Copies of this chain bind each other. A is one copy, B any other.
């Protein structure tokens, strides 16, 4: 299994979650910054390996074998992201690139040990669930901050967007994964939130609140 094949599988998986199954050649090419002929070639190859169902001109979807692989790759990626943020103190917006490389290291044992070392985390720094060793997503019922009422307390578990400006803003106002916060008040005029975090009271806009995932 080459790195390139792995990247295609991951991308098909990602797109089929959004577009409900039917993934097209052009979409894949666009997302992977490659050209349609390259995709066509690779689809044939992946099809021969029984990782995707492919009929010419008809788009593709993953076989169960392909799906298992995609979930395993997702597991690797998210565990590495967790490591980068929690151990190496990277910001949320900096980890993707490096995790992308780390995820291609070939060793199942390595990943299971990493999982153990990190304490079997269930959610990655972007709030996405991390599949366990059996490929099972142990979803936690996280919701966006704007669903919380006054006086409720929640713990930040992720974000809904990777927008750099947004993540930088969170850093600036001291909100990070694991932060505990409490809704003090909600301004009825603009729906902005008054929250308490680390004994400080701050105001955040409705748009920001909507993009913060919390658990309570």
Contact = CB atoms under 8 A, between A and B. Distances in A.
A88 B110 contact: yes
A90 B90 CA distance: 25
Nearest to A116: B88
A113 B88 contact: yes
Contacts of A89: 113
Contacts of A117: 87-88
A207 to B, nearest CB: 31
A179 interface: no
A110 B106 CA distance: 19
Interface in A77-108: 84, 87-90, 97-98, 101-102, 105-107
Count of this chain's copies in the oligomeric assembly: 2
A197 interface: no
Contacts of A87: 117
A175 interface: no
Contacts of A110: 84, 88, 98
Contact of A105 (B90, B101, B107, B114): B101
Nearest to A90: B113
Contacts of A90: 113
A97 B88 CA distance: 23
Nearest to A106: B101
Nearest to A105: B101
Nearest to A100: B105
A90 B102 CA distance: 18
A57 B88 CA distance: 47
Interface string A117-157: 10000000000000000000000000000000000000000
Counting chain B CB atoms within 10 Å of each CB, the highest count among A88, A89, A90, A114 belongs to A88
A87 B116 CA distance: 10
Task: Please list the 5 inter-chain residue pairs (A to B) with the smallest Cβ-Cβ separation, ordered nearest first.
Answer: A88-B113, A101-B105, A98-B107, A87-B117, A98-B110
Given A87-B117, A90-B113, 5 more contacts: A88-B117, A101-B105, A101-B106, A102-B105, A105-B105
